[in-house]
Structure 1
Amino acid sequence: WHEQKGTDEEPECSICYNTYDNVFKTPKVLDCTHTFCLECLSRLMAISLADQDGTGGTTQLYCPFCRHPTLLPKEGPPALATSHEVLCKLPIHQQQEESVWLEGEKLCYKSSKQNRGSGPPDSPTAFCICIDIGGSKTVAAPVQTRRRTSGVMGRLSDWKRMILFFVLMVLLVVVVLWPLQCVFSTGNMRCMREPIQPSPTAISSTLIPLTRVFDPKG
């Protein structure tokens, strides 16, 4: 995948999905021939430097696609080779690469445009535009905090689901299973057996012996 683009007319970077231009989004080619914009590669470089903790040494960029290392020039990503194949597909006014340099944790570009507010119409006014590409490790701290928080919330959600499941099981037993057990065991929904009414024959057989015992003529 040597070239990343959205359409044939507007090729775009596969990291940020922004269309290429001839300034901060200049298409730069890594040693593996994969192409990305200058700004994204500069941010990757800043992150790599932050991971090294200032130990020094040569900076290498690892391709986000194939992980092949590219040795960075001393001037940083702006000194990487530019994909003129991609530049030729840009609008005519963007096909000429502008000078962009690395200044600390910033990418800078000096532009000269016509001053419309004062002076002769043909007098250019130069100004400098810089964007921050900082790769400090403190940027990753809120992400880790959010992950820890999400883990705690996930455990709380698990407890809530367990409690809800337990309550549903209790309701199932009370509302459905218990009445069914009563129906099968007692024949009614109240789980109370009806008292057995003694028959008249049993009452007579019980009273007759008592009468004989207390008969004064006996």
Structure 2
Amino acid sequence: MEPNPNDLWDPYKPGVDEDETPELECAICFSQFNNVFNTPKVLQCKHTFCLECLARMNVKSTNPDTIQCALCRAYTPLPVLGLPKLANDSTVLSYLPATMQQVYSIRFNRNKGKLQVKRAPSSAPTIAQSISQSLDVGSPVGAQGQATRGRERSLLITILQTPFCKACFMSIVAILTVTATIVIIFYTSRNST
């Protein structure tokens, strides 16, 4: 009997081979999953991302009650108690070292753009001292889609605070120098006649 082509293993289909090791890093930031801020959270579409990336996406979203998957664009409604209460990916957690398989209790304050360790698991008191107790994930988005920073900033201030590479900066200085030189020569030649 000939094999059915639909039954053949396809390496590009996720979840086909049950014995395959799951991805142990976030598909957005490529950080290794852990049991604190990079806890693997699974969305309804079955894609897994770290809590930190999901929090960063949430503070920039105009719809804070859902998360849109970065891969398939499907929406997952957030639990009533917030983002940290999304289901953990137990398969990924099972591949982490034994000391990282119990997840920390994390609190997410969207208004402040912070993830905070609420309390450490009782089995790992020494790990709790070695991790940061909070993580800034960015400023939340206001109703008009602009980041709320407490005061309006002009476009010029925003541009001046944007980091430039050295080559861009040197090019701008050269262009301004040439322009200033041309203007000086023009006015000097005009005034001398």
Give the structure-2-normalised TM-score.
0.55
Q: Quick one: distance in 1 between partners of 2:72 and 2:26? A: 16
How far, CA to CA, are the matches of 1:25 and 1:85 in structure 2?
15
Percent sequence identity is: 37
Residues 128/65 of structure 1: CA separation in 2 closer, same or farther (3 Å cut) = closer
After TM superposition, list the pairs within 5 Å mapping 1:45-194 onto structure 2.
Answer: 45-48=58-61, 52=62, 59-103=65-109, 104-109=112-117, 110-111=119-120, 113=125, 129-136=133-140, 137=147
- Output the CA distance in 1 between the equivalents of 2:14 and 2:138: 28
Q: 1:18 to 1:33 in 2, by over 3 A?
A: same
The C-alpha deviation readout for 1:74-124, integer Å capped at 9, x for no partner, is: 33220101100000000111011111111342111134735xxxxxxxxx9
Q: Per residue, is there more helix in 1 or in 2?
A: 1
Opposite residue 106 of structure 1, the aligned amino acid is K
Relative to structure 1, the CA distance from residue 81 to residue 146 in structure 2 (aligned partners, 3 Å threshold; closer, same or farther) is same
Question: What SS does structure 1 have at the residue aligned with 2:133?
Answer: strand
Q: In the alignment, is the contact (CA less than 8 A) between 2:26 and 2:50 conserved in 1?
A: yes
Residue type of the alignment partner of 1:39:
E
1:135 positional shift? 3.3
Deviations 1:183-207 (A, max 9, x none): xxxxxxxxxxxxxxxxxxxxxxxxx
Matched positions, count: 132
Whether the 8 Å contact between 1:42 and 1:76 is mirrored in structure 2 is no
TM superposition score normalised by structure 1: 0.49
Q: Which amino acid aligns with 2:105?
A: S
Q: Which runs of 5+ in 2 are unaligned?
A: 1-12, 141-146, 150-157, 176-193
CA distance in 2, matches of 1:76, 1:105: 13
